[in-house]
């Protein structure tokens, strides 16, 4: 068996951890082109580490990279990525790993830079997955594990100044460390973060520990910087200069918060070296079970963030990190949990700069042991103690100077065990100013905050009240004195999550609820190119199983607020609305503005109003709102210009929209960026709540028998009373439809996924039996039973058609047949219209997709989109694209037009059928129907929930079978 030291437990050689510092000492980045070779086992190439080794025949790669992503979006060139959630992709025989252990060898030649005499040289690796050994000029530097942690090696003895040096690194995909890195993500390997050669001058500053507190009572900061004796700390903006280790009060310091990330640039200097610091004064504390920052209760409106890019895997560039942070800020996110490992250090610097509270999580997860009843879990095995504590130390030491980091998380899903206790004990003594978090510790013996994932709304509310179910009397007392964090909630897999706003309302109501982190920021899919079919050459997001893995968890990796190409999914808009820092409520004679900021005023915002009649703008203006202190609330009267408007015409809806926008540009958004809005309908001239879709009587055409069917105005029906033409348009339907292409939440809810129940019942194969076709004076009434084979459950439908002067009106009424024991996916009508009708305009909620429990981001207005734009490209195709509250819609194209009015109804328009959508596994499986655009005109949908990993829809969003009615008017125009 080929063996390597690096894969054994706790390989040695790395220097003790220290802070990641910006220094003026000599340094040479070693990123860029390296020679690379990949082999299937750990043995590697004899002599590859020698400077004289000839690597002329090797490939060249750009480091940092993940080798399994080389070649993507085409075929991976070195091995292939593999996705598992919980199971290890190798036999669980700790600490052993399989003989099949893909191994990458890297070589990089460089000329050392000039440096002052003396001192030491070190080589720094910021991230290598999962274990590696390094040599300089053939001499071993050491080996290390801990993929998302920095490791440094002393290279002083082996560096040869004035000539070409060769750094050689052997990286193994699997190692003992892999047992500690079973996060729900792709197994990918390589040198995926930066590498550098650093000079450490004699008398330099190896480490610094900044303590910068803030006292809201005195508004003073307090600063103490631990650094080598003799070093001087300077904060020019504060006129401060003090010796390292001494404390200074800083009167009138401006505090750092995510809302106002005030940083003070500082230096720490010795004669030999200066390091630069960004200092933020802030104090995080816990009092009466409330998590507090600078005296104010924290409201964490957070997201879980993995580091991912669809083409480069876990190797991210700074522009991508910055774009993520800016998009978070624009989406009202104020907190990040670095699930489930410390991020690239540059990400934390960005969080300091832009303002995001960070829960920094250690690179630890042993979830696969749960499948074995936690037998031999490294979290509780003394032989793993040092490895776990080392990981904690490496995180805390590296990241300890970031004001954004408010808490340390021991890791994720690693069961319980003594080694977690040892990690906590070390961290508590090293950094008592931050709280400790670990969700797996539900008795809260090791931690300072109570944390859970996916607790439902009801339980979260009980916890908010301090009335959560009892664990054990001892633990209860301790836990109930702690604030609560939902470290994961609102699982954003596929279409969803539903119920997000209801969680945020709970966070606002109960001070014990410090908030939470939505799972998760982005889909971690891999860009692939369709090899065949009509979309050959088109990119699509690939997921588990697409790379031939023997174990995988399919599309469970596609559960983000962003798609894998970082385009926002509808869930991000929903999140931005739920996380809005202001509540704007329009009602009665005024507007209530409630600040949900905890640390800043509304001074940076401007307010505006706009009135629209049936979605057409009629007036707008600025809204005077006095600046509000954090948490304050004010009611302002409706602007006179609104109350003085002439009332709208009868039947016209007048809506007032109020919005809060950035008055000036912020570094994350331009002036005018909207942070919050509110909307309400103003009373009109006896505007009916529901529109009757009919025109003046008197001109109604009569029903006429013709060619075995009927004509009624512009409608043509077949012998069974099915509409087949509307004026110039061939149509199919409309008929009752209950089916939706199941969402991931429908498919994966446990223990009884609704999709399975629906399929068992046959809601995807309804049969329509005409019972009666009743011609009437000026109307046609069709009665049918709609039921699947094998059951007596279904709906009795009556479709009653009338014509008016231009179009036809339909009253569709459905009454349940039999005993319904399951909710309905949807209740409404399916029809098809000619494919050319590709442009949609509507008056209703928009512009985006909305479902009953995920509709906060959409507002009443007039919108337009193409049928193509109606589609949301979930990585695994599923129900999507519904526009709610539609009062009227028009589909147009090629000089023809169909209008549908009434409802309000829920509109979906697709270039394919629901069946085709359901059958597709990837976005490129969907091919537009050359003949038809498929419409669903629904009375209502079942909620989304987030049961793929979490609670189902709230009870009020369950679509129970009952009597439904939908009234619509159709009118077709054109040739
Ligand atoms: C949690 C876990 C995450 C992820 C999520 C489901 O249990 O901590 O890593 O697996 O569930 O997507």
Site to probe by mutation for ligand 1, drawn from 361, 519, 748 as the one with most ligand atoms within 8 Å of Cβ, is: 519
* Residue spans of beta strands (DSSP E) within 195-304: 195-200, 209-215, 220-226, 232-235, 240-243, 247-250, 264-269, 274-279, 284-287, 290-293, 296-297, 300-304
What is the b/e burial string over 635-645, where b = at least 16 CB atoms within 10 angstroms of the residue's CB?
eeebbeebeeb
DSSP one-letter code for 828: E
Per-residue pLDDT tens for 765-807? 999 999 999 999 899 999 999 999 999 999 999 999 999 989 9
User: Does the pTM exceed 0.95?
Assistant: yes
Confidence (pLDDT) at 687: 45
Instruction: For residues 108-130, give the mean pLDDT.
Output: 97
Could you tell me whether strands 300-304 and 513-518 are parallel, antiparallel, or unpaired per DSSP bridges? parallel
Q: What is the distance in A from the centroid of ligand 1 to the CA of 184?
A: 6
| Residue 689, pLDDT above cutoff 60 | no
Beta bridge partners of 898: 891, 972
Site to probe by mutation for ligand 1, drawn from 440, 949, 951 as the one with most ligand atoms within 8 Å of Cβ, is: 949
Alpha-carbon span 908 to 905, nearest angstrom: 10
- If you take atom 10 of ligand 1, which residue's CA is the nearest one? 184
Instruction: For residues 878-901, give the mean pLDDT.
Output: 98
Q: In Å, what is the CA distance from 624 to each residue of 96, 605, 659?
A: 68, 11, 12
Confidence (pLDDT) at 25: 98
Instruction: For residues 285-310, give the mean pLDDT.
Output: 98
Per-residue pLDDT tens for 169-216? 999 999 999 999 999 999 999 999 999 999 999 999 999 999 999 999
Task: List helix spans (H) across 622-707.
Answer: 640-643
Using a 6 Å cutoff on CB, does residue 723 contact ligand 1?
no
Site to probe by mutation for ligand 1, drawn from 361, 488, 491, 552 as the one with most ligand atoms within 8 Å of Cβ, is: 488
Using a 6 Å cutoff on CB, does residue 365 contact ligand 1?
no
Q: In Å, what is the CA distance from 832 to each residue of 151, 156, 462, 707, 810?
A: 61, 74, 48, 23, 16
> pLDDT tier at 701 (50, 70, 90 boundaries)?
confident
Which entry of 361, 365, 413, 892 is annotated as an active-site residue?
413
Q: What is the distance in A from the centroid of ligand 1 to the CA of 85?
A: 8
Using a 6 Å cutoff on CB, does residue 361 contact ligand 1?
no
Instruction: For residues 690-698, give the mean pLDDT.
Output: 52
Per-residue pLDDT tens for 87-112? 999 999 999 999 999 999 999 999 99
Can you tell me which atom of ligand 1 is nearest the CA of 86?
Answer: 10
Token pair, residue 732, equals 């199919």
What is the b/e burial string over 792-814, where b = at least 16 CB atoms within 10 angstroms of the residue's CB?
ebbbbbbbbbbbbebbbbbbbbb
| Residue 944, pLDDT above cutoff 70 | yes
Could you tell me whether strands 264-269 and 290-293 are parallel, antiparallel, or unpaired per DSSP bridges? unpaired
Q: Residues 454, 376: contact at Cβ < 8 Å? A: no
Using a 6 Å cutoff on CB, does residue 523 contact ligand 1?
no
Q: DSSP per residue over 710-771, as a string?
A: EEETTEEE-TTS-EEEETTEE-EEEEEE------HHHHH-SSS-HHHHHHHHTTTSEEEEEE
For the chain, the average pLDDT equals 96
Instruction: For residues 740-769, give the mean pLDDT.
Output: 97
- Give the number of other Cβ atoms within 10 Å of residue 58's Cβ: 18
Using a 6 Å cutoff on CB, does residue 84 contact ligand 1?
no
- If you take atom 6 of ligand 1, which residue's CA is the nearest one? 949
Per-residue pLDDT tens for 444-476? 899 999 999 999 999 999 999 999 988 777 788
Confidence (pLDDT) at 890: 98
Catalytic annotation on 488? Answer: yes
Per-residue pLDDT tens for 476-520? 889 999 999 999 999 999 999 999 999 999 999 999 999 999 999
Structural domains of the chain, ranges and CATH numbers in brackets: 3-200 (2.60.120.260), 209-285 (2.60.40.10), 300-523+559-574 (3.20.20.80), 580-682 (2.60.40.10), 703-973 (2.70.98.10)
> pLDDT tier at 699 (50, 70, 90 boundaries)?
low
Could you tell me whether strands 335-337 and 357-361 are parallel, antiparallel, or unpaired per DSSP bridges? parallel
Catalytic annotation on 413? Answer: yes
Q: Residues 135, 48: contact at Cβ < 8 Å? A: no
Using a 6 Å cutoff on CB, does residue 559 contact ligand 1?
yes
Q: What is the distance in A from the centroid of ligand 1 to the CA of 962?
A: 37
Can you tell me which atom of ligand 1 is nearest the CA of 412?
Answer: 8
Using a 6 Å cutoff on CB, does residue 412 contact ligand 1?
yes
Q: What is the distance in A from the centroid of ligand 1 to the CA of 491?
A: 9
Per-residue pLDDT tens for 39-98? 999 999 999 999 999 999 999 999 999 999 999 999 999 999 999 999 999 999 999 999
Using a 6 Å cutoff on CB, does residue 744 contact ligand 1?
no
| Residue 11, pLDDT above cutoff 50 | yes
Q: What is the distance in A from the centroid of ligand 1 to the CA of 148?
A: 18
Alpha-carbon span 781 to 795, nearest angstrom: 16
Q: DSSP per residue over 541-552, as a string?
A: EE-TTTT--SS-
Using a 6 Å cutoff on CB, does residue 914 contact ligand 1?
no
């Amino acid at each position: 068996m080929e063996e390597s030291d690096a894969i054994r437990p706790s390989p040695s050689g790395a220097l003790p951890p220290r802070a990641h510092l910006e220094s003026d000492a000599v340094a040479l980045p070693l990123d860029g082109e390296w020679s690379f070779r990949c082999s299937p086992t750990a043995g590697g190439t004899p002599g590859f580490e020698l400077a004289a080794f000839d690597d002329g025949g090797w490939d060249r790669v750009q480091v940092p990279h993940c080798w399994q992503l080389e070649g993507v979006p085409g075929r991976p060139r070195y091995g292939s990525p593999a996705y598992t959630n919980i199971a290890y992709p190798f036999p669980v025989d700790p600490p052993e790993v399989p003989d099949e252990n893909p191994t990458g060898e890297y070589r990089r030649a460089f000329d050392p830079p000039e440096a002052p005499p003396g001192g030491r040289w070190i080589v720094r690796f910021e991230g290598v997955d999962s274990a590696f050994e390094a040599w300089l000029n053939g001499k071993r530097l050491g080996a290390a594990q801990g993929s998302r942690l920095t490791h440094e090696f002393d290279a002083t003895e082996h560096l040869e100044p004035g000539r070409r040096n060769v750094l050689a690194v052997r990286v193994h995909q699997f190692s003992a460390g892999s047992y500690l890195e079973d996060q729900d993500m792709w197994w990918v390997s390589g040198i995926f973060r930066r590498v550098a050669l650093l000079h450490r001058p004699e008398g330099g500053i190896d480490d610094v520990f900044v303590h910068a507190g803030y006292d809201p009572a005195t508004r003073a900061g307090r600063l103490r910087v631990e650094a080598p004796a003799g070093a001087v700390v300077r904060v020019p903006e504060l006129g401060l200069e003090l010796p390292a280790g001494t404390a200074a009060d800083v009167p009138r310091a401006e505090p750092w918060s995510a809302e106002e990330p005030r940083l003070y640039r500082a230096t720490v200097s010795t004669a030999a070296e200066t390091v630069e610091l960004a200092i933020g004064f802030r104090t995080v504390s816990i009092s009466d079970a409330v998590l507090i920052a600078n005296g104010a209760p924290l409201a964490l409106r957070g997201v879980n963030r993995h580091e991912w890019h669809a083409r480069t895997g876990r190797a991210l560039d700074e522009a991508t990190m910055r774009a993520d942070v800016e998009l978070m800020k624009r989406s009202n996110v104020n907190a990040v949990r670095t699930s489930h490992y410390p991020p690239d250090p540059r990400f934390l610097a960005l969080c300091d700069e832009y303002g995001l509270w960070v829960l920094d999580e250690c690179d630890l997860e042993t979830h696969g042991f749960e499948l074995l009843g936690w037998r031999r879990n490294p979290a509780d095995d003394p032989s793993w103690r040092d490895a776990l504590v080392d990981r904690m130390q490496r995180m805390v030491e590296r990241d300890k100077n970031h004001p954004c980091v408010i808490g340390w998380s021991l890791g994720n899903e690693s069961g319980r065990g003594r080694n977690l206790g040892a990690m906590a004990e070390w961290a508590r003594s090293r950094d008592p100013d931050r709280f400790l978090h670990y969700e797996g510790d539900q008795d809260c013996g090791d931690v300072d905050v109570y944390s859970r994932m996916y607790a439902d709304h009801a339980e979260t509310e009980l916890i908010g009240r301090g009335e959560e179910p009892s664990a054990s009397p001892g633990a209860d007392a301790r836990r109930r004195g702690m604030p609560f964090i939902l470290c994961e909630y609102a699982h954003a897999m596929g279409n969803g999550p539903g119920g997000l706003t209801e969680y945020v309302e709970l966070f606002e109501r109960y001070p014990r609820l410090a908030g939470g982190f939505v799972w998760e920021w982005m889909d971690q899919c891999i860009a692939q190119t369709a090899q065949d079919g009509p979309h050959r050459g088109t990119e699509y997001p690939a997921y588990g199983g697409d790379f031939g893995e023997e174990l995988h968890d399919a599309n469970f990796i596609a559960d983000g607020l962003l798609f894998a190409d970082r385009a926002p999914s509808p869930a991000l808009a929903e999140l931005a609305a739920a996380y809005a820092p202001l509540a704007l409520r329009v009602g009665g004679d005024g507007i209530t503005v409630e600040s949900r900021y905890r640390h800043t005023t509304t001074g940076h915002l401007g307010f505006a109003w706009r009135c629209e009649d049936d979605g057409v703008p009629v007036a707008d203006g600025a809204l005077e709102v006095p600046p509000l202190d954090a948490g304050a609330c004010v009611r302002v009267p409706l602007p006179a210009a609104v109350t003085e408007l002439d009332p709208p015409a009868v039947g016209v809806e007048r809506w007032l929209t109020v919005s809060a926008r950035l008055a000036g540009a912020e570094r994350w958004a331009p002036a005018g960026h909207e942070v919050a809005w509110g909307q309400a309908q103003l009373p009109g001239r006896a505007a009916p709540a529901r529109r009757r879709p009919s025109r003046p009587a008197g001109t109604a055409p009569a029903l006429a028998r013709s060619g075995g069917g009927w004509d009624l105005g512009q409608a043509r029906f077949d012998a069974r009373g099915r509409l087949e033409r509307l004026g110039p348009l061939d149509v199919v339907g409309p008929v009752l439809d209950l089916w939706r292409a199941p969402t991931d939440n429908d498919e994966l809810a446990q223990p009884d996924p609704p999709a399975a129940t629906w399929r068992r019942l046959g809601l995807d194969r309804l049969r329509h039996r005409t019972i009666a076709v009743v011609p009437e004076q000026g109307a046609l009434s069709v009665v049918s039973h709609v039921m699947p084979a094998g059951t007596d459950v279904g709906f009795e439908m009556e479709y009653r058609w009338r014509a008016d002067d231009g179009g036809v009106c339909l009253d569709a009424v459905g009454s349940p047949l039999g005993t319904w024991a399951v909710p309905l996916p949807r209740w409404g009508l399916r029809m098809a219209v000619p494919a050319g009708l590709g442009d949609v305009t509507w008056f209703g909620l928009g512009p985006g997709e909305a479902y009953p429990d995920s509709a906060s981001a959409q507002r009443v207005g007039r919108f337009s989109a193409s049928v193509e734009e109606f589609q949301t490209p979930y990585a695994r195709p599923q129900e999507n694209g519904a526009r709610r509250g539609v009062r009227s819609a028009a589909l147009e194209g090629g000089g023809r037009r169909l209008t549908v009015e009434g409802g309000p109804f829920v509109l979906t328009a697709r270039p394919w059928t629901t069946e085709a959508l359901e059958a597709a596994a990837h976005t490129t499986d969907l091919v537009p129907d050359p003949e038809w655009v498929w419409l669903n005109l629904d009375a209502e949908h079942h909620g989304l929930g987030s049961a793929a990993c979490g609670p189902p829809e709230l009870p009020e969003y369950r679509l129970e079978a009952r009597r439904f009615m939908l009234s619509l008017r159709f009118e077709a125009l054109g040739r």
